[in-house]
A and B are shown apart, each in its own frame.
Chain A
Amino acid sequence: MTDSLRRLRVLIRRNALEIIRDPLSLIFLIGMPLVMEVLFYAIFHKLTAQFEMKYLAPGIAVFAQSFTTLFAGLLIAVDRGSAFLTRLYVSPARPFEITLGYALALIPLAFVQSVLFFAVGAVVDPSILSFSIVPAVLACVLTSLFFIGAGILLGSVCTEKSIGGAASALIAGQSVLSGMWFPLDGMGEGVVTAMKVLPFRNATLLVQNALNGTDDPRADIAVPLLIVLAYTAAVFVLAAVFSRPGRDG
């Protein structure tokens, strides 16, 4: 194993432990979305197709990922504020290893999140076992990259105090603009256009379509995937720019 990989392993382990050992992060990343999944299904699935488990589980899986932005951002903002990040930048670790260490620590969490949401969904409504769960989980891992990158970006520009507000805006964006809670009919044209060009609805559609299958993979899988990946690339590039050592002076 090279020195770089050894350092990366050390960074990933530390970052993962920091998040897993914070009870609040587990509540928001897993506990609360699971409760929402069960409750919303129980209350609404007979009233509207939107809350059938084949749409609800993917929607909740992506919604829960938006909290990754908050906790990744919080970890980095605290590391910056406490000079822990300075300690890392003075160490032999290179800046890209440090950024990658934050990102890779959170991908397994996104995987576990999505498996849990589909598993609980299958317990509540076993019919979703007949759908494509493995592609849906893989799609979840891809969409998680956007939220992780956004967390690294926000953590690099926000303080420990301001990160909550900034990440909440993104969580609200995912909640409102994903279209998972209410039908698009009746929404203004501007809102619908925003939903089409922003990553939130595209991330949800990608996972929903990966689970349910589609006759038009180009329009229903490739297009949302490319939009989400484009935003992912953008947030990681910005995160690399804003997280470089010495930015704070």
Chain B
Amino acid sequence: MNDTETAAPALPAIRTAGLRKEYGDTVAVEGLDLEIRDGELFALLGVNGAGKTTTIKMLTCLCRPTSGEAFVLGHSVTREPERIRPLIDVSMQETAVARNLTVEENIAFCAGLAGLGPEDAAAAREMLYRVFGLGSVKNKRASKLSGGWQRKLSVGLALVSAPRVLFLDEPTLGLDVIARRELWTAIRSLRGKMTIVLTTHYMEEAEALADRIGIMKDGRLLFTGTKEELFAVSGAGSVEEAFIRLVEGGTGND
């Protein structure tokens, strides 16, 4: 590159254009135009049925959009799912662990599935022991762990493949306040290392963790921006108050 050239703008990690998903007569997601930057932690908020999980399912190639298009790291979710899968991982609302395998075996399983070699698998295991504290329960079967530990393991397993984009669908659902704060600390430690898309019902979670926030209602995106922009648009002083005003008012900036 010579001095007169400028660096090309980085590709967004995620870009959707007119994304729509219908289930029979129900429109779950409608006209979603969204851009999530590489390396940012983006929180997607919405009441039940707002379309958050459906959006994540489309972005992770678990279901096809009815119309519109979405790109993850430049790859189309409809035409190139096999190129997207090695680059992403997901932790869904439900705890997803192999119940009769130990914590260590669960990690080895995910490493094997991702095709990691012995050194990378060992590095992933040590990272999960360090970040999530799983080393203290490494020889316990997942079914014998408490709900909080199972949740940590479930979220942690999504990191084994070192994804470039991580989807966390309500990762702290059902956790007590201590376990939730511990998981927040773990998620914070990942900021900047990968792009994270987080859906949550807990407004304080979005406030504490997110670089930018998106608010959905009835399948449509009402707002995207930083906390400060959200406060400015809504006239509120907290994410929770701003969320209520936007969702009840039905207007935002999108």
Which A residues are within 8 Å of any B CB, using their own CB?
3, 6-7, 9-11, 13-14, 17-18, 21-22, 78, 81-84, 86-93, 245-246, 249
Contacts and interface: CB of A to CB of B under 8 A. Distances in A.
A10 B112 contact: yes
A152 B31 CA distance: 37
18 contacts: A3-B115, A6-B112, A9-B112, A10-B109, A14-B109, A17-B101, A18-B98, A18-B99, A18-B101, A81-B94, A84-B98, A86-B62, A87-B110, A89-B62, A90-B85, A91-B161, A92-B85, A249-B63
A88 B64 CA distance: 17
Contact of A83 (B61, B64, B93): B93
Nearest to A94: B82
A17 B97 CA distance: 13
Interface of B: 23, 54, 57, 60-64, 82, 85-86, 88-90, 92-101, 105, 109-110, 112-115, 141, 157-158, 161
A86 B90 contact: yes
A84 B96 contact: yes
B95 A82 contact: yes
Contacts of A6: 112, 115
A9 B93 CA distance: 28
Contact of A86 (B92, B98, B141): B92
Nearest to A20: B100
Nearest to B58: A246
A22 B100 contact: yes
B115 A14 contact: no
Contact of A11 (B62, B101, B113): B113
A7 B161 CA distance: 13
Contacts of B115: 3, 6-7, 92
Contacts of A13: 109
Given A246-B63, A246-B64, A249-B63, A87 B90 contact: yes
B96 A86 contact: yes
B147 to A, nearest CB: 12
Given A90-B88, A92-B86, A246-B62, A17 B112 contact: no
Given A82-B94, A246-B57, A246-B62, A88 B113 contact: yes
A136 B164 CA distance: 52
A90 B113 contact: no
Contacts of A83: 92-96
B81 to A, nearest CB: 9
A160 B95 CA distance: 15
SS of B interface (majority): loop
A156 to B, nearest CB: 15
Given A82-B97, A84-B96, A90-B85, 17 more contacts: A3-B115, A7-B115, A10-B113, A14-B105, A21-B141, A78-B99, A83-B93, A83-B95, A86-B90, A86-B96, A87-B92, A87-B158, A90-B60, A90-B89, A91-B113, A92-B82, A249-B23
A89 B88 CA distance: 11
A236 B99 CA distance: 26
B136 to A, nearest CB: 22
Given A82-B95, A86-B90, A90-B89, A18 B113 contact: no
Contacts of B98: 14, 17-18, 84
A89 B54 CA distance: 15
A21 B112 contact: no
Q: Which of B57, B97, B113, B114 has the largest count of A CB atoms less than 10 A from its CB?
A: B113
A160 to B, nearest CB: 12
Contact of B113 (A21, A22, A81, A93): A93
Q: Which of A18, A83, A245 has the largest count of B CB atoms less than 10 A from its CB?
A: A83
A245 B58 CA distance: 11
A184 to B, nearest CB: 41
B10 to A, nearest CB: 24
Contacts of B95: 82-83
A9 B23 CA distance: 36
Contacts of B23: 249
A83 B109 CA distance: 16
A87 B85 contact: no
Contacts of B61: 90, 245
Contacts of B93: 83
Given A18-B101, A245-B62, A246-B62, A92 B94 contact: no
A126 to B, nearest CB: 38
Given A83-B92, A246-B57, A246-B64, A92 B113 contact: yes
Nearest to B84: A90
Contacts of A10: 109, 112-113
A136 to B, nearest CB: 31
